[in-house]
Chains A and B, each alone.
Chain A
């Protein structure tokens, strides 16, 4: 884990509200694993006060990428960063995806900005693994395909691809993949992860989900980001024990 002052190498707008940020961050680049995140300082002032968590979207040499949406003040400030600006980032944080194993196809299920961690995962998968990516968005202009491959799209309004949720699309298409062994990797808003978890558990699929929680520190000292363990007896910390969990281990 490092605190690194990273210089902006590029910032690119990839649709009407989504940005791809490339930073020079050698220490984090060399130690990050797919599914991990960084806690990013978006301002030098006290408002906004807390860092903002973002998945590591990809690693390329000594650079890392974040893919983000303008949501509120913090992400707006981040979108105003320019070439050569310095951004202080803390990471890599949390536990990422477990992606080794004997499965043949990595089934990616992503909603909205939930596609963010997958370019990195796809890069690190061993070459013999196939990828099937299912991507959901509210409508056509918000579909994110950056860094993915073999993509099937679902939109809430049906403006492109399957009309419905990405989990419903997965249910419809899974038979074409089920012939070989697969592992599901999910990331998206918590209600979507809940639907994916339910489907995976009912069918006893091998499934890992990346969940979101409000965070202050991002590395385990504030206890601000709990998620209930499936036994109901204790809380796990999304920042430290996650954000990626085996779907069987947590209650969303």
Chain B
């Protein structure tokens, strides 16, 4: 039996649902030494900003039970260097490239999209709304439903390429944000970004990461991520990319059952850089065993 692994995220067609998440694959070159990226559905770049960002001072990461906290501070090369130095390698990869953008003003999001949209290699944009901004009083755009609506609207107006808005889980009703994305013309949402957390040294009484708080990721967040995906699925008709703590193919299946059309792998890449390919094999095997002809039929197949 040949199994159809392809999935559609709105207008974006992927050969399979396994994507590698922003900030956990850099720009592809290092991880390519350990895995065949051409087998995957695609990769999402580290968040790019208009100008290069140096990132936060160390310590940036700390391990926590079944998870980790990070406060990288969006260290990235900026859009210009990305086009000049990173695109040529990414072009040769034969995998779908999704470009993740982070900005501190709505105008900056639009400017980044305008600079990048001409690059044929970029098949879609993922908009990271979960970074602190200056203009709106230092809050995350991701917590402000009106700001998320306006960002979606402006970015939509700037490009015909598929737009995925990456939602913050640090809100009380994530489905309201997904609704806003849909109303303003976004093609899909990805959920979730990291959860705010912290960790202290009991001897020095100091925070273990310099930024005091960081984003929690890894298996510890999986139940929360699943609940967020399910909440969106039950309330809004929009394609969802499920992210959060996926370590193996079983986790991937679980995300699809609760409503994800595709999934992204984050922290697991640090531990097993070949996880994407292994998960893909696991998914195919699962379909074969369960006589599922189209993997996409799993999406939202929960029995509640």
Nearest chain A CB to B40's CB is how many angstroms away?
15
Instruction: Mark A110-146 against chain B: 1 for CB-CB distance below 8 A, else 0.
Output: 0000000000000000000000000000000000000
User: Is B185 interfacial (CB-CB < 8 Å)?
Assistant: no
User: Is A41 interfacial (CB-CB < 8 Å)?
Assistant: yes
Contact of B269 among A213, A217, A228 (CB under 8 A): A217
The answer on a CB contact under 8 Å between A234 and B54 is yes
The answer on a CB contact under 8 Å between B33 and A1 is yes
User: Is A225 interfacial (CB-CB < 8 Å)?
Assistant: yes
How many residues from B make CB contacts under 8 Å with A?
Answer: 35
- Interface window among A48-56, A95-103, A177-185, A196-204: A48-56
User: Is B65 interfacial (CB-CB < 8 Å)?
Assistant: yes
Q: Which of B51-83 contact A (CB under 8 A)?
A: 54-55, 57-63, 65-68, 70, 72, 75
A-to-B contact residues, CB < 8 Å: 1, 3, 41, 46-51, 90, 213-228, 233-235, 240
Q: State in angstroms the CA–CA spacing of A50 and B60 once bound together.
A: 15
Contacts of B273 in A (CB 8 A): 3, 90, 217, 219, 221
Nearest chain B CB to A75's CB is how many angstroms away?
13
Q: State in angstroms the CA–CA spacing of A50 and B272 once bound together.
A: 10
Contact of B24 among A221, A227, A235 (CB under 8 A): A221
Given contacts A222-B270, A226-B55, 18 further A-B contacts (CB under 8 A): A1-B33, A49-B63, A49-B68, A49-B219, A49-B267, A49-B271, A50-B63, A51-B270, A216-B61, A216-B70, A220-B26, A220-B30, A221-B270, A222-B72, A223-B26, A223-B75, A227-B58, A235-B54
Q: Is the interface of A mostly helix, strand, loop or mixed?
A: loop
The answer on a CB contact under 8 Å between A222 and B63 is no
Q: Tell me which of A1, A90, A216 has the highest count of chain B C-beta atoms within 10 A of its own C-beta.
A: A216
Contacts of A90 in B (CB 8 A): 34, 273
- Given A222-B24, A235-B54, A51–B271 Cβ distance below 8 Å? yes
The answer on a CB contact under 8 Å between A226 and B60 is yes
Contacts of A225 in B (CB 8 A): 58, 60-61
Contacts of B55 in A (CB 8 A): 223, 226, 235
User: Is B31 interfacial (CB-CB < 8 Å)?
Assistant: yes
Nearest chain B CB to A252's CB is how many angstroms away?
10
The answer on a CB contact under 8 Å between B68 and A50 is yes
Instruction: Mark B85-128 against chain A: 1 for CB-CB distance below 8 A, else 0.
Output: 00000000000000000000000000000000000000000000
The answer on a CB contact under 8 Å between B54 and A48 is no
* 8 sampled A-B residue pairs with Cβ under 8 A: A41-B271, A51-B271, A214-B59, A214-B60, A220-B30, A226-B55, A226-B60, A240-B30
Nearest chain B CB to A49's CB is how many angstroms away?
6
Contact of B218 among A49, A220, A234 (CB under 8 A): A49
Q: State in angstroms the CA–CA spacing of A225 and B72 once bound together.
A: 9
User: Is B274 interfacial (CB-CB < 8 Å)?
Assistant: yes
User: Is B263 interfacial (CB-CB < 8 Å)?
Assistant: no
Contacts of A3 in B (CB 8 A): 34, 272-274
Q: State in angstroms the CA–CA spacing of A217 and B271 once bound together.
A: 6
Contact of B75 among A46, A219, A227, A235 (CB under 8 A): A235
User: Is B164 interfacial (CB-CB < 8 Å)?
Assistant: no
Name the residue of chain A whose CB is nearest to the CB of B71: A224
Contact of B31 among A46, A214, A221, A223 (CB under 8 A): A221
The answer on a CB contact under 8 Å between B219 and A46 is yes
User: Is B247 interfacial (CB-CB < 8 Å)?
Assistant: yes
